[in-house]
Amino acid sequence: MDEIISDVFPGVRRLDVLETGRRRRWTDDAKQRIVEEAFQRGVSVLTVARRHDVDPSQIYDWRRRLFPQISRGISGFAPVVVTPDCPVPSSRGQMEIVCGNGRRIIVDRDVDVAALLRVLAGA
């Protein structure tokens, strides 16, 4: 190997480069798939990061860039599915709420709204 004489490395006569640290390039689709995988319920970001050989902080950065509304904590609206064959509500004024995870919450018309909101926040 050639000798390197430079002002940057005074007194160093030889410098070996062992690894270049080649940067990988991820497509936006690949980033989105990894972010969605990492933030599924019950999945560890660290586990997904190791699986894809990515630093966990990189996954958080991708999430911030690809999904800014999530990173700012803006919840937005929940998707609603209207089905024509739903049972007719009872005359007692009950309401059934079906959460995204499949759990059902049934409340009367006299429900304490603050308590219901706490339950929904945890569902």
10-33 tens-digit pLDDT: 776 776 777 666 677 888 889 989
Cβ distance 97 to 107 under 8 Å? yes
Q: What is the pLDDT of residues 32-50, one digit of tens each?
A: 899 989 888 888 999 999 9
Residue 96: in which H helix or E strand, if any? strand 95-98
Q: Quick check: pTM over 0.85?
A: no
Matching residue, tokens 């007692």: 92
Q: How far is CA 23 from CA 14, 59, 66, in A?
A: 25, 16, 20
Number of Cβ within a 10 Å radius of residue 109: 8
Per-residue DSSP letter, 98: E
User: Mean pLDDT across the stretch 73-101?
Assistant: 69
User: Who wins on pLDDT, 73 or 69?
Assistant: 69
Decide: helix, strand or coil at residue 65.
Answer: helix
Write b or e for each residue in 18-37: b if 16 or more Cβ atoms lie within 10 A of its Cβ, otherwise e.
eeeeeeeeeeeeebeebbee
